[in-house]
Chains A and B, each alone.
Chain A
Amino acid sequence: GAVVSQHPSRVICKSGTSVKIECRSLDFQATTMFWYRQFPKQSLMLMATSNEGSKATYEQGVEKDKFLINHASLTLSTLTVTSAHPEDSSFYICSARRDQAADTQYFGPGTRLTVL
């Protein structure tokens, strides 16, 4: 159990376009999902916390108008990178908590975004 999927796994886009990444919990309901960004050979940096039915909470320094997060159901959260630029190229990873009482996060396989 506790499988999280992400789509797409890889995406290449032109500068100025928008890209949507989906994160799904396949076999459990996730009231909370998290979005991370990981640059090569670096650690995971939390971008935002996404709660079902409410606005996401963004970490300091993360532009909420650039990284749009929607958590419309208990199994789906989406991250849209708007007007992407080459510096947005990174590995974007989502995670989900299975229940409120547990701290463990289950990670999706990640989406590698390359902006040309």
Chain B
Amino acid sequence: GQQVMQIPQYQHVQEGEDFTTYCNSSTTLSNIQWYKQRPGGHPVFLIQLVKSGEVKKQKRLTFQFGEAKKNSSLHITATQTTDVGTYFCAGGNFGNEKLTFGTGTRLTIIP
């Protein structure tokens, strides 16, 4: 079946440093979505990318969708303590409405 992997699994950064998580799917995706889950919380939708090569920005967050629509990345510039949490990508599939969640990257910030 389809697999969506993320690397790294964990990332510890000093506050102010940049952070990147990478998402790779075993199959071509119809779209990629990113969610953030704070410790003890539930996933919160961040963004959706649909087009090949698409790049979207939200303040300090930059999201990219690969040309082949099989990979994606999330980059955070100058991390802050509020960025702590686990970031999941979720791949949408052609022909059905399901999302396949990635394995997640847990970000911790060292003040």
Contacts and interface: CB of A to CB of B under 8 A. Distances in A.
Interface of A: 32, 34, 36, 41-46, 49, 60, 93, 95, 97, 103-110
12 contacts: A42-B104, A43-B88, A44-B101, A46-B98, A46-B99, A49-B98, A95-B43, A103-B97, A104-B33, A104-B48, A105-B45, A105-B99
Nearest to A108: B42
A49 B97 contact: yes
Interface string B55-93: 000000000000000000000000000000000100010
Contacts of A41: 106
B12 to A, nearest CB: 15
Interface residues of B, number: 22
B95 interface: no
Contacts of B104: 42-43
Given A44-B88, A103-B48, A104-B48, A93 B97 contact: no
